[in-house]
Structure 1
């Protein structure tokens, strides 16, 4: 794991004050449902969902009767405006204003368009509308989405597997002993906190989701010399991974909720759990940003797991979740397989390695560039919103279309050593893509073992 990611996981900003439940006073005209329907068909109009991305993805939260978003609506969450974010200490070196300016452009919001912003609490839409007004957007209206949601004749759109990303509010209910009805078929729910380092150096003892057992990332990818003179952090063998889960109190029939200050780490462990055969695995969305923004308390208790003796299934029960280097070599040039390289463009073309401990720059010939972060090898900013929630699926698909990535094929996501690609794989599953996998060992193993590679822009 890179030092930059470790810093990102250990650092945090001050907790935002909990928002008032009172509805905000509006200076914007409210539109009707018929007005909204017309706007959804109008190229000179943009409809924005100002709620948490968890609601947009599919969760019925904050009292809403149905989850998901109005079909055709784009997302611009009020959370993005006031979430924890350090303008100076972040992986991409971008201010909040720079990040949100790009979001405005990506969603086609401009001064010449009619903009309708909706929510269900009477606050979020006004907060977003006020922000956009400050940016020169004048033709703004609001809409109470409860009118649409409560009308069963009107469709709502959710991601096929939105439940794989769990809102902080739902995790809070679970930690309070109030498991939402129908949340899982599993008898036991296990919460983990995934970070690099032991309980103390990782920051776990400084604050974690209550009841979460600490998982040191070195326990599933221990540093080891695989190639003479070169230390790597490859994924451990299956038996070591199973022992880690058992020692952590996890068996195949459990529901595991993976949390972390860094969604990348939570996703990395979640993929391992699915690969081995845990039936129900979730990732808490937004890292700890959403948890802190809601005003929930973190625990400093050192939770000791009760070890299990039997995992319950033969491992790996789901081998298709992770491709070996041999499987990549075998499938790389076949027509129904695409190796997606989720690194920075500089790493992809061989201008830099991305890692202080790795010296070889380049890419696997035949791999297709698929975005991750802009500048930093620990970033997946192209796949996230500023509050560390998942970027909306339409924008992710648009990136893949630009890269000529065909989602009908089997997609194997890779990066340097599996971290960035694991988060992107998780989002692909949320989107309903069932033929996606992780090439876990990534560029570092490929290049260290002397396999062929290329540099430069493809086709040049």
Structure 2
């Protein structure tokens, strides 16, 4: 089940015009409803990171992000589906902006499926005289280029102020990490921060000891990544709950570092000196809630939302999603916030390169289900990983009153007295 803003229409009604060039200032004078603008740069630049040699980042207001580099992984049917999910229409005059070679590649692909009323924008986005749009906290969702700069000791925008740690996060022994990881990265086994029976966060004393072993203070910048970034996001949420002021996530995780062509290293890195955290743990307890708080949110659905980040099949009760979770269904009164194809994927929130999808698409998902920025919003999934990644995206989008319901469906369904539901449902029924 997908949320699509606009639908493709038959190719036969299109009018072809030659490829042309314009400026953003000219583009801003055109009625926004009559055109579509595609930002074919990296999603990182779209989010707010300046391109190399540029003075500012962000995107032209209302632009749709479709990185030309994604084409290398897409076949025509998948290309059309992805364009549709991004809201691209066949009939509207289309304006592209990115590096000339990238714009040429994308324009040829668009033309091959019938979008041939295309114009390229010759002006650099940083030279546009108008206001650019960007994520409120884009600097917390970092690029591999930025990470390499700080590892190499080079000058970087939004650099750590009081030292940094790079940490790879995964469940279990560091098998893949030992073979190859980002230079200098430490390793965090999620068994150190969550435990049975419900795979909730460990108690605050154990959490404090784990953070101490990693050599992290409250004012240390912590950059997290994973082979699957849901694990890294789980650690991000817990470290923020503990009180780390500057927690960042590598956009696209391990894949983004490898795709950038950067070197890796084998063997285990040690954290070095164990240091005191420097403030009480937790310092931000509101970022993780438990069953009583989840029930309180359900009591006021107009101003609060308990949001299920589980696949549609999990949400309607066709599957529990996990071998070790027997009950099927959803928390009665919870709203569907989208997720992916199953309990181990999060495609609805990721681009083809595993980077975060555009904020406007996420907000459109949620608006359909009555989930808004003005509310108190808590995300849940099976045990917390998918919910944590979505929590972090909401955080970088600038949503202020957000949290993760730690126990999720696993703990909730473990008590038969907690109300649960199953079956098809519409947003209005929720």
Report the TM-score when normalising by structure 1.
0.84
Q: Are 1:36 and 2:11 matched, yes or no?
A: no
- Which residue in the other structure is 2:40 paired with? 50
Q: Deviations over 1:68-107 (max 9, x none)?
A: 111121111123223xx6xxxxxxxxx7555432221133
Q: Deviations over 1:101-135 (max 9, x none)?
A: 2221133433322111101x322222221221222
- Which residue in the other structure is 2:102 paired with? 124
Q: Are 1:365 and 2:355 matched, yes or no?
A: no
Q: Are 1:323 and 2:313 matched, yes or no?
A: no
Q: Deviations over 1:131-162 (max 9, x none)?
A: 2122221111211341x4224x3211111111
Report the TM-score when normalising by structure 2.
0.90
Contact 1:74 1:107 in 2 (8 A): yes
Contact 1:168 1:284 in 2 (8 A): yes
Change in CA separation of 1:205 and 1:96 when aligned onto 2, cut-off 3 Å: farther
- Which residue in the other structure is 1:352 paired with? 319
Q: Are 1:430 and 2:396 matched, yes or no?
A: yes
Distance in 2, matches of 1:273 and 1:296, equals 27
- Which residue in the other structure is 1:112 paired with? 91
Contact 2:139 2:158 in 1 (8 A): no
Distance in 1, matches of 2:287 and 2:317, equals 28
Query: How much has 1:399 moved relative to structure 2?
Result: 0.8
- Which residue in the other structure is 1:140 paired with? 118
Distance in 1, matches of 2:180 and 2:230, equals 18
Residue 288 of structure 1 is aligned with which of 251, 254, 259?
Answer: 254
- Which residue in the other structure is 1:189 paired with? 164
Distance in 1, matches of 2:213 and 2:178, equals 19
Query: How much has 1:181 moved relative to structure 2?
Result: 4.7
- Which residue in the other structure is 1:305 paired with? 271
Contact 2:25 2:130 in 1 (8 A): no
Residue 337 of structure 1 is aligned with which of 262, 281, 304?
Answer: 304
Distance in 1, matches of 2:54 and 2:306, equals 40
Change in CA separation of 1:67 and 1:34 when aligned onto 2, cut-off 3 Å: closer
Q: 54-63 vs 329-338, which deviates more?
A: 329-338
- Which residue in the other structure is 2:10 paired with? none
Residue 148 of structure 2 is aligned with which of 172, 184, 187?
Answer: 172
Q: Are 1:103 and 2:82 matched, yes or no?
A: yes
Change in CA separation of 1:273 and 1:243 when aligned onto 2, cut-off 3 Å: same
Distance in 1, matches of 2:52 and 2:75, equals 26
Residue 249 of structure 1 is aligned with which of 196, 199, 215?
Answer: 215
Query: How much has 1:179 moved relative to structure 2?
Result: 4.3
Q: Are 1:421 and 2:387 matched, yes or no?
A: yes
- Which residue in the other structure is 2:126 paired with? 149
Change in CA separation of 1:145 and 1:285 when aligned onto 2, cut-off 3 Å: farther
Q: Name the SS for the 2:21 alignment partner.
A: coil
Distance in 1, matches of 2:78 and 2:212, equals 41
Distance in 2, matches of 1:442 and 1:129, equals 44
Distance in 1, matches of 2:93 and 2:62, equals 15
Distance in 2, matches of 1:251 and 1:123, equals 45
Change in CA separation of 1:390 and 1:96 when aligned onto 2, cut-off 3 Å: farther
Q: 339-348 vs 121-130, which deviates more?
A: 121-130
Change in CA separation of 1:96 and 1:272 when aligned onto 2, cut-off 3 Å: farther
Distance in 2, matches of 1:108 and 1:346, equals 24
Query: How much has 1:212 moved relative to structure 2?
Result: 0.6
Distance in 2, matches of 1:137 and 1:35, equals 22
Change in CA separation of 1:127 and 1:293 when aligned onto 2, cut-off 3 Å: farther
- Which residue in the other structure is 2:12 paired with? none
Count of equivalent residues: 408
Moved over 6 A (4+): none
- Which residue in the other structure is 1:162 paired with? 138
